[in-house]
Amino acid sequence: MLTGSSLAGLFVAAFLAATPVPFQSEVVFLALMAQGTVPVVALVLVASVGNILGSCVTYALGRGLGGDRGARWLGLTPARQAKAERWFGRWGIWALLFSWAPGGDLIVALSGALRVPLPRFVVLVTIAKTVRYTVVALIGLGIWS
């Protein structure tokens, strides 16, 4: 049962790490890897899914702040909002590939506020988050340093 509770704890840690809650899931991930009781592939899968779903929550929060209400809350004039939308429409979608990095939650929330289509969002975030935990696993295994 330790494996099940370990995976549940990792899921929660990865989920929280992708929300505005300040949390680092890599410590939990690497600690479970060091124990060696859970296959590394299972760790990558569970952490990725938790982190992707946490990003979906952050996206939804951003979407709730989108439009005129969010622009007023952020202090954006209509002209600045239009400029931000144009920039994000051209370059911002690809910034989601960096959603794993520090500050990535802001990119995720902004993509929700600017109404990035959910399927496109999920594909890019899935790639970013899965690569992130794969790299953490490779570092933990000593394969990539």
What is the spatial distance between Cα 53 and Cα 51, in angstroms, rounded to a whole number? 5
**Residues 52-70: tens digit of each pLDDT:** 999 999 999 988 877 666 6
Residue-level pLDDT at 1: 45
The domain segmentation of the chain, as residue ranges, is: 2-140
Q: pTM of the entire structure?
A: 0.86
Residue-level pLDDT at 13: 97
What is the spatial distance between Cα 23 and Cα 59, in angstroms, rounded to a whole number? 17
The values of phi and psi at residue 116, to 5°, are -60, 135
